[in-house]
Amino acid sequence: MKITVLSGGVGGARFLRGLREHVRALPGDHEITAIVNVGDDMWLTGLRIAPDLDSIMYTLAGENDEVRGWGRTGESERVSGELKAYGVGWDWFTLGDLDIGTHLARTSYLRSGIPLSEATARITARWPLGVTLLPATDDEVETQVHVDGGSMHFQEWWTRHRAALPALSFEYRNALQASPAPGVLDAISGADVILVAPSNPVVSIGPILAIPGVREALLAATAPVVGVSPIIGGAVVRGMADACLAAIGVATAADAVAVHYGPRSRGGLLDAWLVDDADAALVPSIEEAGIAAGAVPLWMRDLDTSAAIAAQALAAAARL
């Protein structure tokens, strides 16, 4: 079975780890490919930072910091201390030393003309991840947030301002000039199942869909597309997706996000959508919108619950 997952960072990472766990227990050979958002990527002090690719890599490698919720375990900040002393970089954005190792490896490849997808393949080869990571594009597509008086990189809005500045709109800068990375369209067209991770619809999944060719490939895919809601009981599970949804006029509700993605039968993304048991009452309205829906436990508390969610997503796909 070939499973392709559209994914952002932390939520996507946990979902992918659960999916890998579930699939390992299944008979037969299975391949998981993650198409990963690059809209959060940026240049900072000469380094190319790719937060979502790295969050997934660290999580699947077992190297993520479970307590802090992001970055490497056993991290230190010796280099960042120097950058602050020199007054270089963003003083509200601290890079860990181990993390800088990853950024330097990536930057080194990019500066020598190797595209992000190949750089990612070489970097992830360090660990047996059990999941192939494909950046959505090799081009530099960066999410800009328009606020009153100007715009800024998503990372500045998210980390520095804690998403507290009202967002007027999100722009996937350069997306229209970008192309899917090698392997992305094949991973969609050749998949047996396509899953949409419980990632931020606006700034994680949105930038992937904005790459010309991706939506078309998803519409043409023979595989069913099943999404997992990142909203439970009218609240975001993690992060500040509500501030993003509000900016694009979508309610922070599991059914609203499903309708935002839209039914594939009418040019949208989804064949099916999983909501949490707490949102079971929303199932009829989602189905009325043309999307098969089911209510299951969606809290990714640990590896077992994440694996169970992945199993439910595959079961929903099998029912289609």
Counting residues that bind its own copies (by CB under 8 A) gives 31
As a whole number of angstroms, the distance between CA 139 and CA 143 comes to 13
Q: Is the dihedral of CA 160, 37, 59, 18 positive or negative?
A: positive
Q: Which is nearer to its own copies, 27 or 113 (CB)?
A: 113
Distance of CA 19 to the CA centre of its chain: 14
The region of 119-127, 158-166, 185-193, 213-221 touching its own copies under the rule CB under 8 A is: 119-127
Show the CA angle centred on residue 139, arms to residues 130 and 106, nearest 5°: 55
Q: Which is nearer to its own copies, 9 or 89 (CB)?
A: 89
315 lines the binding site for its own copies (CB under 8 A): no
What φ, ψ does residue 156 adopt, rounded to 5°? -70, -45
**Cβ pair 202, 241 in contact under 8 A:** yes
Q: Which residues pair with 32 in a beta bridge?
A: 3
We find the least distance from the C-beta atom of residue 88 to its own copies, in angstroms, to be 4
We find the least distance from the C-beta atom of residue 90 to its own copies, in angstroms, to be 11
What φ, ψ does residue 267 adopt, rounded to 5°? 85, 5
We find the least distance from the C-beta atom of residue 106 to its own copies, in angstroms, to be 8
We find the least distance from the C-beta atom of residue 109 to its own copies, in angstroms, to be 8
We find the least distance from the C-beta atom of residue 49 to its own copies, in angstroms, to be 12
212 lines the binding site for its own copies (CB under 8 A): no
129 lines the binding site for its own copies (CB under 8 A): no
The region of 121-129, 146-154, 202-210, 288-296 touching its own copies under the rule CB under 8 A is: 121-129
Tell which one of 68, 91, 92, 122 touches its own copies (CB under 8 A). Answer: 122
73 lines the binding site for its own copies (CB under 8 A): no
What are the helix (H) ranges across 69-213?
78-86, 97-111, 116-124, 154-155, 184-189, 206-209
Structure tokens at 292: 């098969």
As a whole number of angstroms, the distance between CA 244 and CA 38 comes to 17
As a whole number of angstroms, the distance between CA 276 and CA 254 comes to 8
We find the least distance from the C-beta atom of residue 58 to its own copies, in angstroms, to be 12
We find the least distance from the C-beta atom of residue 50 to its own copies, in angstroms, to be 14
We find the least distance from the C-beta atom of residue 97 to its own copies, in angstroms, to be 4
The DSSP line for 254-312 is: HHHHHHHH-BGGGTSSBSEEEEEGGGGGGHHHHHHTT-EEEEE-----SHHHHHHHHHH
Sequence-ordered list of residues with C-beta below 8 angstroms from that of 90, at least 6 positions apart, any chain: 44, 156, 160
302 lines the binding site for its own copies (CB under 8 A): no
In terms of Cβ atoms closer than 10 Å to its own Cβ (0-12, 13-18, 19+), residue 121 is: middle
68 lines the binding site for its own copies (CB under 8 A): no
The mark string for 22-51 relative to its own copies (x by CB under 8 A, - otherwise) is ---------------------x-xxx----
The mark string for 79-118 relative to its own copies (x by CB under 8 A, - otherwise) is xxxxx-xxxxx-------xx-xxx-xx-xxxxx-------
H helices, E strands: number in the chain = 13, 14
Q: Which is nearer to its own copies, 58 or 273 (CB)?
A: 58
Q: Which is nearer to its own copies, 112 or 249 (CB)?
A: 112
Binding site for its own copies (CB under 8 A): 43, 45-47, 76, 78-83, 85-89, 97-98, 100-102, 104-105, 107-111, 122-123, 126
